[in-house]
Structure 1
């Protein structure tokens, strides 16, 4: 029989290599501990990881793609390839599709979420990435703009630092990787609570998730979210919404939004997506 120490090592290895979807608030640590990036690498297979970088949200895809390629190569990934899509026709590239069918992880970089969706939404390449991630065949990470596109609906732009109002947020269709969420990023650094509240008032059936910089909401295969990084993840649950004036409010008129649940989670905390309850691992 295995002794207790060996059993513990095997259990830890299985946990570290289990596929997940990592939704990152942007500005993740790329130099020091690299906790979030290391977790993504581990969940993609560690030293056996075959990772695709999708930098097309950026206006400088070569620069940003090369940067992440160097990072994951330095972290000892087996192979790292940049999927440099500049036109929608690139979403049908047979070489890219072959790579996506064989890879163990995909990383969506930051930039402009509208640009990312405009280039890749409903293409064979993105459809395959979404399919494999939802089937838990690969790990998928998105940072900043790459995080914003995770839901069926996404925050495409807007202002910050105001009271909730309809004019504060611009909504568009996302990539439906995690359809039931509505994600905002760079959350407290850019004072975006009112923006997320305004978005949730439009779609109270969706779970609002605001993610700080260098922070990650990691969606696990057991329908829980694990929090990683140095900041917090704010969760807004509007399932029991009792009243909002959102349908009648015009422009920048203040929104009333009654009976929300708001949770602020930090490193080590978890959230049960079935029970809609936070809990801690400690």
Structure 2
């Protein structure tokens, strides 16, 4: 379950990105992230733990500094011992936003999971700090993380590997590089395991900005695939053998491009607002 916030204080945004977001010229996703984080007053902490490349954190710091934030710093947390250090927790406490980079989501979860840094991120998000992540950094944001799985359109019993995530929301299951890596089947499988959460498949260079009101808006050049299991009337997940396809009857699927919105609480999708164009 997400952390309980301070009464009267709005939760922070949750911003999963499908990976490969634009890092030159327009950069609509990163610019929007900086805007909600405070613009010129934003203090952004980058956590490059998922990546094994030494310069990943510094590259994002340069990007955010180029957008004129007040401060941006990288926390190169590479071990669980690092994730327990008071200095790292203090950096989270002072930030207006945290951004988790791409890489390997299991590396991210095994190093951060249950650590003081992870607990600080959860607590601060509940009290208004915004948290974004791209690729692996997006996958880990919900309570249940898609850690791996098969490519392809068809859901199968062994089609997805799940692991615990950060737990910023229990209403979504998030997959990334969605269309580019043909991941519909594994998202459907994940949703069928427990048809409570809404499945969200993020194309590359595409993000959702999930606000404290429980609704999100799509930003970016691709699309977001939303799998709503509310109307699911039949699933063969409990009886299908390993590697067999699974029958799912009654699912609703939405494809949302930039400007479209979705209310996670009411399970309603909305077209872009023409006045906002």
- For the residues of structure 2 that align with 1:75 and 1:274, how far apart are their CA atoms? 33
Structure 2 equivalent of residue 58 of structure 1 = 51
TM-score (norm 1): 0.90
1:46 to partner: Cα distance: 0.8
In structure 2, the residue matched to 1:262 is 253
Among 191, 195, 209, which residue is 2:186 paired with? Answer: 195
Which one scores higher on RCO, CA 8 angstroms, separation ≥ 6? 2
Q: Choose which of 199, 202, 214 in structure 2 pairs with 1:208.
A: 199
Q: How does 1:51-200 map to 2 (within 5 A)?
A: 51-60=44-53, 62-136=54-128, 138-200=129-191
Task: Give 1:83 shift.
Answer: 0.9
Tell me, in whole angstroms, the C-alpha distance in 1 between the residues paired with 2:36 and 2:58.
21
Question: Tell me, what secondary structure is at the counterpart of 1:88?
Answer: coil
Which of 18, 25, 28 pairs up with 2:18?
Answer: 25
Larger radius of gyration: 1
Secondary structure of the residue aligned to 2:240 is coil
**Deviation digits for residues 167-202 of structure 1 (CA, Å, limit 9, x no counterpart):** 221111111111221111000011111111111111
Contact kept? 2:176, 2:204, Cα under 8 Å: yes
- Contact kept in structure 1, 2:12 and 2:126, CA below 8 Å: no
Structure 2: runs of 5 or more not aligned: 1-10
CA distance in 1, matches of 2:267, 2:38: 30
Contact 1:19 1:44 in 2 (8 A): no
Residues 32-41 or 152-161, more deviating: 152-161
More helix by share: 1
Q: Detail structure 1 runs of 4+ shifted over 3 Å in the superposition.
A: none
Q: 1:162: how far off?
A: 4.8
Residues in 1 aligned to 2:134 and 2:221: alpha-carbon distance in whole angstroms = 15
Conserved 8 A contact 1:155-1:183: yes
**Alignment RMSD:** 1.2
Question: Equivalents in 2 of 1:180, 1:272: separation in Å?
Answer: 11
Residues 65 and 71 in structure 2, CA contact (< 8 A), matched pair in contact too: yes
- Residues 154 and 172, structure 1, Cα contact 8 Å, conserved in 2: yes
Quick one: distance in 2 between partners of 1:134 and 1:270? 22
* Residues 188-222 of structure 1: per-residue CA shift (max 9 Å, x gap): 01111111111111121111000100000110122
Which among 262, 273, 278 is matched to residue 269 of structure 2?
Answer: 278
- Where structure 1 has 5 or more consecutive residues not aligned to the other structure, the ranges are 1-17
CA contact 2:198–2:264 (8 Å) conserved in 1: no
Change (3 A) 1:241 1:112: same
TM-score, length basis structure 2: 0.92
Give the Cα–Cα distance (whole angstroms) in 1 for the partners of residues 126 and 218 of structure 2: 20
